[in-house]
Chains A and B, each alone.
Chain A
Amino acid sequence: MEIREIIVGAFLGVGCFFVVVASIGVVRFPDFYTRLHPAGKSDTLGQALILSGLMIHEGVSVVSLKLFMIIVLIFIVNPAASHSIAKAAYLAGVEPWKDKEGGRS
């Protein structure tokens, strides 16, 4: 029981770390497209870790099954949402920020 709680704590802690880093990234990154990266994706791993931690806490049960479905749902929906936001910006002509050397295309 004790060991399981430690594992659950580790999952929740690392998950929260990634969510916090994603939030910092949204503030720090220079332009629209780069901000999408942490907002859309570090979140995905963070949430997956947090929900996995909750699944371990819950053990084998219906609640775990539902949590697993939420993880799968996030892994499908989140990239689709990021993609459509990026595409909207691209079609509207938002220019990507480039460093001094300039990006290749």
Chain B
Amino acid sequence: MSFLLTALIMFLFWIALSWQFEPLYLISGVASSLLVAYLSHDLFIGQADVRTGVIRLFRFFAYVPWLMWQIVLSNIDVARRTLHPGMPISPTIIRIKNIYRTEMAMVLLANSITLTPGTITIEVNKHEFIIHAVTREAAEGVLMGGMIERVKRIEGGDDV
């Protein structure tokens, strides 16, 4: 099941990239997507069952616009501080408790934090996230801005 799904997605990806419909291209596309699916289908679909995965995917798509808006806001803030003659920055290192069970949620939070300018995730382990922030306001933004709760909501109550 996961093999066929991966092969199908890989073949659609091939078509999107090549946009060639001569038999030669289609046949080599089928061959390579089957090969890739054989090698990586267990990684690509993962352990969570398909239903949980799809629900999380939709929650994730609802999260993306909010994240984009945060990226724009904090980018403007960092740009202002970069160009400001006095350069009002106050680098800080903070630690956040790790409240997630799935690796996907940890990756999502770490990447979201790094994408919003002003904060970089330095280290993630089972207990905490270590974050470097370029200003104290940015550090407080991570703690108070609701990103942690939003990622937690994407993860939901399911265990895998």
Contact = CB atoms under 8 A, between A and B. Distances in A.
Interface in B123-160: 123, 130, 132, 134, 136
Interface in A1-51: 17-18, 21-22, 24-25, 28-31, 33-34, 36-38, 40-42, 44-45
Given A18-B75, A24-B83, A83-B120, A99 B90 contact: yes
B94 to A, nearest CB: 7
Contact of B91 (A18, A21, A79, A103): A103
Interface of B: 16-17, 19, 71-72, 75, 78-79, 82-83, 87, 89-95, 110-111, 114-118, 120-123, 130, 132, 134, 136
B118 A37 contact: yes
Contacts of A66: 16-17
B78 A25 contact: yes
A30 B90 CA distance: 11
A37 B120 contact: yes
23 contacts: A21-B83, A25-B82, A28-B82, A28-B87, A29-B82, A29-B87, A33-B91, A36-B120, A37-B118, A38-B78, A41-B114, A41-B117, A62-B16, A62-B19, A65-B16, A79-B114, A83-B122, A90-B123, A98-B91, A101-B90, A104-B136, A105-B92, A105-B93
